[in-house]
């Protein structure tokens, strides 16, 4: 199948109250997780205390790293996460945040190593699984991505972005029906997920469901406009005009 959709992958990092660690959340920061092809949104990274009654001093370096990452000083962020790991080699949140920062630097292989180490420490961390999965997708390995995204959904079946990401991976694997199912589930879980409407609309267009495609793209355009995402709004309107001209 040749798809006309511009693939956009949503980050699944620690939102909706999902911590990077199963323990007490101490603080949050923001970082941008995006690449040329798979684009994420603003994703809160969290640092966590391994024991709710005893502060782990390594978390001080994690917090500093988050501040550097948010400011765009990724090299300094990496150095702070390195210090945290030297102080506590089993602090999974340090590996996870270093992985996110490495993605921002274009070091996907290094990010995979960090996400994998975090998963050795916390095997059922749905966020780490999804993050490693979308990094595999960015590296052109949709099969490995699908394994991680499947497992992430098993652990947390109520998180819309993971279904969206899996839908895009299934498009890469030419599993159109599976992709439609995932994108529909995304919309059922989050009716304001503009990218999911757009992706489903473009997929329906490729499947010659012009009426369904127009319906989805109209909803996507309305949401993009309301969200002031002007670039996506313009792209969606261009696709709508093309489809309407073919009716």
pLDDT of residue 182: 97
Helix residue spans in the chain (DSSP H): 58-71, 74-87, 92-104, 108-121, 126-138, 142-155, 160-172, 176-189, 194-206, 210-226, 230-246
Report the alpha-carbon distance of residue 69 to residue 159 in Å, rounded. Answer: 25
The CA-CA-CA angle for residues 140, 100, 78, to 5°, reads: 125
The domain that holds 49 is classified in CATH as: 1.25.40.10
225 domain residue, yes or no: no
Total tally of structural domains belonging to the chain: 1
pLDDT for residue 27: 25
The angle subtended at Cα 230 by Cα 224 and Cα 232, nearest 5°, is: 60
Q: What are phi and psi of 25, to 5 degrees?
A: -80, 130
Range of the domain at 10: 1-157
pLDDT in tens, the chain (247 residues): 444 443 444 443 332 222 222 222 222 322 333 333 343 333 434 444 344 446 789 999 999 999 999 899 999 999 999 999 999 999 999 999 999 999 989 999 999 999 999 999 999 999 899 999 999 999 999 999 999 999 999 999 999 999 999 999 999 999 999 999 999 999 999 999 999 999 999 999 999 999 999 999 999 999 999 999 999 999 999 999 999 998 6
Q: Is residue 214 part of a domain?
A: no
Residue 30: per-residue pLDDT: 26
**What is the distance of C-alpha 169 from the center of its chain?**
12
Q: What CA–CA distances, in Å, run from 45 to 71, 101, 136, 242?
A: 14, 10, 20, 40
**132 neighbors 103 (Cβ within 8 angstroms):** no
Q: Is 210 within a domain?
A: no
pTM assigned to the model: 0.82
pLDDT, residue 54, reads 62
pLDDT digits (tens, 9 = 90+) for 1-56: 444 443 444 443 332 222 222 222 222 322 333 333 343 333 434 444 344 446 78
Residue 135 lies in a domain: yes
Nearest to 19, CA basis, from 122, 114, 116, 112: 122
Assigned domain for 85 exists: yes
Within a domain: 106 = yes
Instruction: Give CA–CA dist 109/111, Å, rounded.
Output: 5
Give me the pLDDT at residue 19, please. 29
The reported pLDDT for the residue numbered 22 is 22
Residue-level pLDDT at 81: 96
In a domain, 62, yes or no: yes
User: Residue 56 domain-assigned?
Assistant: yes
């Amino acid at each position: 199948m040749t798809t006309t959709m511009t693939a956009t992958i949503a980050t699944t990092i620690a939102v909706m109250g999902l911590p990077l660690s199963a323990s007490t959340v101490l603080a949050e920061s923001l970082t941008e997780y995006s690449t040329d092809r798979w684009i994420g949104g603003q994703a809160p990274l969290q640092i966590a205390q391994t024991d709710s009654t005893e502060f782990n001093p390594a978390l001080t370096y994690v917090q500093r790293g988050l501040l550097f990452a948010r400011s765009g000083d990724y090299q300094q962020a990496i150095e702070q996460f390195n210090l945290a790991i030297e102080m506590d080699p089993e602090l999974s949140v340090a590996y996870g945040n270093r992985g996110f920062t490495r993605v921002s630097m274009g070091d996907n292989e290094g990010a995979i190593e960090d996400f994998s180490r975090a998963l050795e420490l916390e095997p059922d961390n749905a966020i780490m699984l999804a993050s490693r999965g979308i990094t595999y997708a960015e590296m052109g390995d949709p099969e490995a991505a699908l394994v991680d995204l499947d497992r992430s959904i098993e652990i947390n079946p109520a998180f819309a972005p993971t279904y969206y990401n899996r839908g895009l991976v299934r498009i890469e694997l030419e599993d159109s029906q599976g992709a439609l199912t995932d994108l529909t589930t995304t919309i059922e879980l989050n009716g304001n997920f503009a990218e999911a409407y757009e992706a489903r609309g473009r997929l329906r267009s490729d499947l010659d469901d012009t009426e369904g495609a127009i319906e989805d793209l109209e909803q996507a355009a309305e949401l993009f406009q309301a969200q002031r995402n002007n670039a996506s709004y313009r792209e969606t309107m261009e696709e709508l005009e093309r489809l309407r001209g073919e009716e």
